[in-house]
Amino acid sequence: MTDSVDVDVVVVGAGLSGLAAARSLQRYGLRVKVFEALDRVGGRVDSATVADARVDLGGTFVGPDHDHINSLADEVGVGRYLTHEAGDNLLLWRKDRKRYRGAVPPIGATSLLDLARIRSTLERMSRRIPVGRPLDAPDAAGLDAQTLGSWLTAKHAGQATKDLMAVVCKTSWGCEPSEISLLYVLHYIAQAGGLDSMLDTRGGAQEQHFVEGSHEVAVRVADGLGADTVRLGSPVLRIDWSDDAVTVHTDDGPTTARRVIIAVPPAMRRRIRFVPELPAAHRRLSQRWSPGVLSKIYAVYDTPFWREQGLSGMTVSDEGPVFITFDASPPDASRGVLLGFIGGDYAREWDAVDADERRMRTLSALTDLFGERALEPRGYTDQRWGEEDWLGGGPTAAPGPGAVASLHARLTEPVGPIHWAGTETARRWAGFMDGAVAAGERAARETAIELTTTTHDEKASR
């Protein structure tokens, strides 16, 4: 079998997950080919230079326990620095602008008590969800039948709590609370180690940035795979498969392999024609696990002028289109960089207008937060992930009610010689760069073990 195929394993997708899979497979001594539809590597991580500042258009932050991505970055020589958080945060709430310290915005004593009640309940419920196996949770089907929004209403959450949970939804999944399965939300919280770990800066998932940008990790990993291993601009159109081999078709022709790892978002799996068809549940997964819509903006200034005012650059707003910001300035503060998120309904509306209108709305929102100096940046860019043809939306899937308990297992369940990667398939930190790398390494390990076992069986039968 080994001599009759072009390579041992084909990897579909050159995002962090696919690249991590390819890297691991090579370390197992296997021959690999990677096909990527885009004209660049990185998938949902990309970077750009704006007014001499390097900015991350996709995946940006890493936390202290993101061991897989941090180890990979260390190995390829991409450094990290702490997200700036010194100074006061800003809250724009009900037309009132307030300064505050800490993670919880000052929304009033009654609203804070209500928020604490809802957060505590979510944390308690999430601890009952088996990590990696949400379908085994008590009353999984009942939890999956609800949205986060319907649950908040049933729990009589106040409007301020609902609005803040909408900020979490827009940022994390690019959707509204009324659109996402409660079971998915609880499992997401569980696999991230709790809401604090998921949402916080210091000690949490937003603690650090990469000095050279997250995309540089992908570039260096791809470079290390060797010449002609990664084929860019080569979307996989069809995969023919049998029990022990695959033929992967691109515009350049067929490539035969013993196994294939699909490392693309679940919704993008349906862009590939499988012959024979995948099982029905796997097809339903690709239909029902669509991504949310999340966009990002960067405004670059000569200096981080907000620091002069004693501000951290971190803000929360109940107005759009920009509803949360971070200081993403380089570690030497040679430029002032504000990062803003636009997600859910805000993004659907904002994405649809032209570039000049998007810029005007964005800078107007930043001016409401930081004053007139925010109105005239030295450089500006935005990234609308929902407009990316081969990626399709936000940083991860946002499955609706009824799509998790019955379909979650299909994220990683192999089909014959077909294995699955991508951040959505990770056991921990799904939706983050760490989950992407971990998923790629897991898929490579499973594939290598399977191939090794098959080879041993073939030798024993001779």
d(CA 347, CA 293): 6
pLDDT tens digits, one per residue of 347-389? 999 999 999 999 999 999 999 999 999 999 999 999 999 999 8
Residue 10 has what pLDDT? 98
d(CA 290, CA 174): 11
**What mean pLDDT is predicted for residues 112-133?**
97
Whole-Å CA distances, 47 to 33, 97, 324: 24, 32, 20
**What mean pLDDT is predicted for residues 58-65?**
96
Residue 1 has what pLDDT? 42
pLDDT tens digits, one per residue of 165-214? 999 999 999 999 999 999 999 999 999 999 999 999 999 999 999 999 99
Residue 453: pLDDT band (50, 70, 90) is confident
d(CA 358, CA 126): 37
Q: What is the pTM of this model?
A: 0.96
Residue 394 has what pLDDT? 85
CB distance 374 to 366 below 8 Å: yes
Instruction: Give the DSSP H/E element, type plus range, for residue 381.
Output: strand 379-384
pLDDT tens digits, one per residue of 252-272? 999 999 999 999 999 999 999
Q: Quote the radius of gyration of the chain (alpha carbons, Å).
A: 22
Q: Taking the CA of residue 349 as centre, how many other CA atoms within 13 Å lie in the half-sphere pointing to its CB?
A: 7
Q: How far is C-alpha 303 from the geometric centre of its chain's CA atoms?
A: 29
The partner residues of 250 in beta bridges, in order of sequence, read: 253
Whole-Å CA distances, 74 to 7, 55, 363, 429: 29, 19, 36, 19
Scan for tokens 């010194």, then name that residue.
86
CB distance 52 to 336 below 8 Å: no
